[in-house]
Structure 1
């Protein structure tokens, strides 16, 4: 079988699996968040944290819950890393405490559902930090994202009220009823397929060429399951999903892509059920699928293109890719992780072709909305839908409406703030970092990073880093040494601002929509459940992203790809 055909068949199998679970999972999540009942385990959690799950919250109270919970998680994870060196041997594996700037970066990264890693997990983190710190944040940071999305959906579904539900109930239900059971099943599948799951210490093993190498054990399969399912992306090992202990074979590679995409896609069904019109969910789904399929096809084309004798001999751009996954599997994985806020990698993104690296970067620059992260993809796409409706209203001279809600001055200002904050962070931090950078491969001072390459690729390394951080992705171009005080601090700030500032605007928007009185549908109402609107939405997304990022992309991946 040719590598191209193999890649296409893998994509078809993935598409079929996602289609099979779309409806039951989406309906189940709608029932979870609409339910008035609480499980016994959930009641214990509410008593422990002192929360009343039946008390409705206005958007400021909901936001305070999001920020307070995340701030506590940030502090606890930071402290756990700082005291690692004082923990007993099996808990710390003998590793020292993490430095202050790197501990801040890692804490911000995992609390912000980004999982950017400026460290090698098997050389830095013991079992305590990995399981009590990082794995816990993989669950709850994903649950926070879903909760915010559900609050926005309620803003569309409700009217003449200022209440958006209860953050603590949404957080606990998302964790206990959705993420935890799915992760258990996924972890069992991964263990059955060869991923490791233990609390062993460090083993010293011989190498074929002589000498020895130290290899860690760990609770890898469980971490891998929630890392993908919660669109987190942080690897137990430095090689991430290219490591055979995390991703043993071609089947697990495709299974992990399935885990990445399944909840974000199914949430569109949840959206349709909760607003009482499943066709609206299908329109959002169609938009996401169109972008995802298009980006995957472009990535495969760029990586299979035979430019030069070396690539012809290898059958494509095999540099930085695992033989057991091939170009097709690696392209599917790379596209899925950069169109979602996952950041897991099964290949070296810095070794993608120039245009392939640009496609991965552009996927993040879209706002990771096709299908995006768990929760964040849905609310990001709904904000873009509001922008598209507003543009359509301007073209026909009619007050824009979406799902029976008028899109007025307040709503469009909040939506505009949402789409402006991330590009401001990406381009601003990139510009300052490039201005402070020295010659490639050198660190001039503590405020400088080591950029391995010169020219367009060196610029792409820095641009990719801040694009990944501000969009809460977490993947990286390997040529950038980001473990410096400057990059640990600025990337951590980009992660926190890129995660929580948009949530402020989303929840304020949800509150504004919920207070409105529904507008009756007329003959002039834009039919937002039709393919025409899906096409308008795709065009809006691509035009806004293109106008924002085209100059930066032209200096980096486009210049490299066309050279």
Structure 2
């Protein structure tokens, strides 16, 4: 039954074809049926922001527009969180957020990471939940989507990478706002709270007073998953029964955070005018996904080796840190999806995963999120595809080509930067944390598990995922500042590098296909792509995986 539950949810992903087609219509800038529904509203927004001529931008102008928009949003968000005690919609009287925690929080939500060093029900007011957290969930997702589409336009040879502000508006009006509104209504119907009433004060059976936090949960919950954000309204995130009350809501949340990233490869195939290109990318993503899902499900189903050795019945698997209403299957699927789709929401505590089971979320984030969030996965997988083409070209002594354009030194330098920055901002801070008491003092487990706690924090930050291993006491100046810097570098360095690649390729004249052209839309290249991802990942991260989860597993045995 567990495997059947997982298979049924995966089969629903066949919807990637209609969803990917819709995304193509949204961003192709060609007249289509979506213009009739949303064109009038968008023209009003364009007039309001002064966007009279929606001309295509160079990659530099596109990147600058993206960064400046993010800076403005961060500035407003920082002010709101620092002054939230005196702002409206604060019925529980929550105080202002501390300055280093505010820095970490606004960077976290603007970079689509949503790493939370605070507990939502006690750390932020309703106004902050809506005007900061929810707002940044929309805008960071729309920003990522826009960059991904610009990159696709560049490598497929469109006239330009597009106009950032037009893409940014369309991502809101045609995708995230309509879907979030619909999902919010569904969540409310399935018993997720949506209210501005203050915390409930109830009397328990023992006659004690208990405070139950509520609030505008459903609206945040919808964009949290649709935008692959992951920041929870409550500290327990989607393990909390108000955020995720039933197996049905659990499946809806899985599909919400998975469907759009999974549909992007099909959209890419339509841009490339070769659907096989899109299916090739999707197949590589799904193969890696199933591989690591199987590892997590197997490890969690087998249970904790130390507990098994004590003769305790472990027929239900390792249920520590998991909700009984979900069980092993939906917990394993959720864990794999949330790290493969760089969402960061959790319905079980990753700190309690078995050693082998914890390899799955760690590796998926180390490989730059496989499916990725709003565009991240597609961009990273295309980066690896270009790398694969380059390596194959070196082997046969032929100038590599991708989608009819030659891959030369300039593009490979940018791709090398994007690939190398990821392990650099993970491994260096992880090592640094063990060199000072500021880092070591936050570790709750002095063994190999403590190594994994620190590693997971920086991997999650660098991958813009945001899920936590939780055993770490991370709300300190050291962790707030270091993870904030890692989140910034993890988001913006790779985005700028890949936009530069798109800008370079779009200027090149297409090379006619010949009998000697290396095909990138068949099963052979799918295997090469998967191999490239795994080999680069193993070369950079296998040693530290051995020091953490694998060493812990061998010790427990």
Asked if the contact 1:84/1:92 (under 8 Å) is kept, the reply is no
Tell me by how many angstroms 1:58 deviates: 0.1
* Cα offset, 1:314, TM superposition: 5.2
Cα distance in structure 1, aligned partners of 2:337 and 2:251: 11
2:466 to 471, 474, 480: 474
Partner of 1:135: 134
Aligned to 1:12: 7
Residue 358 (structure 1) aligns with: 359
CA distance in 2, matches of 1:210, 1:267: 54
1: CA distance, partners of 2:312 / 2:155: 51
TM alignment of 1:505-516, pairs within 5 A:
505-516=497-508
Distance 2:336 2:207 in 1: 38
The structure 2 residue matched to 1:219, chosen from 216, 219, 236, is: 216
- Equivalent in the alignment of 1:442: none
Quote the Cα distance in structure 1 between the aligned partners of 2:53 and 2:492.
Answer: 23
Taking the TM superposition and a 5 Å limit, the aligned residue runs for 1:39-54 are 39-52=39-52, 54=54
- C-alpha distance in 1 between matches for 2:5 and 2:155: 37
Alignment length (residue pairs): 545
SS in 1 for 2:211: strand
Superposition deviation, residue 210 in structure 1: 5.1
Residue 111 (structure 2) aligns with? 112
In structure 1, the residue matched to 2:98 is 99
1:543 aligns to 2:535 (yes or no): yes
CA distance in 2 between counterparts of 1:410 and 1:538 reads 24
Give the whole-Å Cα distance in 1 for the aligned partners of 2:113 and 2:364.
Answer: 15
Q: TM-score, normalised by structure 1?
A: 0.94
Alignment of 1:258-273 (within 5 A): 258-273=255-270
Contact kept in structure 2, 1:144 and 1:171, CA below 8 Å: yes
Give ranges in structure 1 of 5+ residues lacking alignment.
Answer: 438-444
* 1:530 has 2:522 as partner: yes
Aligned to 1:51, what secondary structure does the other structure show? coil
1:34 aligned onto 2:28 = yes
Bigger shift: residues 428-437 or 541-550:
428-437
Q: Distance in 2 between matches of 1:310 and 1:364?
A: 35
Q: 2:205 and 2:142 mapped to 1: Cα distance?
A: 44
| Preserved CA contact (<8 Å) 1:449 1:484 | no
Distance 1:313 1:113, change over 3 A: same
1:186-265 paired onto structure 2 within 5 Å = 186-208=183-205, 211-265=208-262
Look up the SS of the partner of 1:289 in the other structure.
Answer: helix
What's the CA shift for 1:78?
0.8
Q: Paired residue for 1:373?
A: 373
Q: Does the 8 Å CA contact 1:92/1:125 hold for their aligned counterparts?
A: no
Note the C-alpha offset of 1:93. Answer: 2.7
Indicate conservation of the 8 Å contact 2:91/2:198, yes or no.
no
- Give 1:313-328 correspondences, 5 Å limit: 313=314, 315-328=316-329
Is contact 1:231-1:340 (8 Å) kept? yes
Q: What is the alpha-carbon distance in structure 1 between the residues aligned to residue 499 and residue 391 of structure 2?
A: 22
Question: CA distance change for structure 1 residues 52 and 158 in 2, over 3 Å: closer, same or farther?
Answer: farther
8 A contact 1:108–1:495 mirrored in 2: yes
How has the CA–CA distance of structure 1 residues 449 and 228 changed in structure 2, closer, same or farther, with 3 Å as cutoff? farther
> Which residue matches 2:548?
556
Q: Distance in 2 between matches of 1:490 and 1:366?
A: 21
Q: Distance in 2 between matches of 1:421 and 1:130?
A: 32
Residue of structure 1 equivalent to 2:271: 274
SS in structure 2 at match of 1:205: strand
Secondary structure of residue in 2 paired with 1:480: coil
- Partners in 1 of 2:341 and 2:137 — Cα distance? 15
Q: Displacement of 1:43 after TM fit?
A: 2.1
* Offset from partner CA, 1:345-383 (integer Å, 9 cap, x none): 0001000001111221111000112x1111111111110
Q: What whole-Å deviation, never above 9, does each CA across 1:118-139 have from its counterpart, x for those lacking one?
A: 0010011111100111101111
Q: Deviations over 1:282-305 (max 9, x none)?
A: 000100111111111111001001
1:92, CA displacement in angstroms?
5.6
State the Cα distance separating 1:449 from its structure 2 match. Answer: 4.4
Distance of 2:358 and 2:114 partners within structure 1: 20
* DSSP-derived class of the 1:67 partner: helix
1:402 equivalent to 2:396? Answer no
- Whether the 8 Å CA contact 1:311–1:318 is kept in 2: the answer is no
Secondary structure at the counterpart of residue 342 of structure 1:
coil
**RMSD (CA atoms):** 1.5
- Which sections of structure 2, spanning at least 5 residues, go unmatched? none
User: 1:350 and 1:469 mapped to 2: Cα distance?
Assistant: 16
Partners of 2:312 and 2:428 in 1: how far apart?
36
Aligned partners of 2:181 and 2:219 also within 8 Å:
yes
Alpha-carbon shift at residue 48 of structure 1 (Å): 2.6
Contact 1:472 1:498 in 2 (8 A): yes
Aligned pairs (5 A) from 1:292-331: 292-306=289-303, 307=305, 308=308, 309=310, 312-313=313-314, 315-331=316-332
